[in-house]
Amino acid sequence: MVNSVTNLGRSGVFDWMIQRVTAYVLALYTVFLFGFVLTTDINYDSWSALFDQTWFRIFTLLALLSIGAHAWVGLWTVTTDYIKATLPRFLVQALCGLAMFVYLVWGIQILWGL
């Protein structure tokens, strides 16, 4: 079993659970948005009304957090499998982690208008 400081979970089973739970959240979010687009005449007012609802902002925040966690576990797995040297692997993981953090903060700023 691989344990690392850059690993999100404590074990492979925990990482597997993170992948599955976040995949369900992202699937539900995608299905909801797809249904909304199909059943609603999309314009600025309808889109704004959807994002003005607190429950949808929380759902979107959950989707943002889920995509960050899902991407991190996936990228950690790929980098530990294919980049064997420690320094290049750490640099790639740090760069990916920084990019995910920036996207998460940016998404929260856009979502909540902070």
Residues making up the annotated binding site are 70, 82
Please give the structure tokens belonging to residue 35: 């249904």
Query: What torsion do the CA atoms of 62, 69, 9, 75 make, to the nearest 10 degrees?
Result: 170
Q: How far apart are CA 57 and CA 14, in angstroms?
A: 27
Locate 46 and state its tokens.
Answer: 């309808």
Sequence-ordered alpha helix ranges (H) in 1-114 = 12-39, 44-52, 54-82, 86-112
Q: Which residues fall in the annotated binding site for a ubiquinone?
A: 82
CA of 47: how far to CAs of 8, 27, 89, 95, in Å?
A: 34, 20, 41, 33
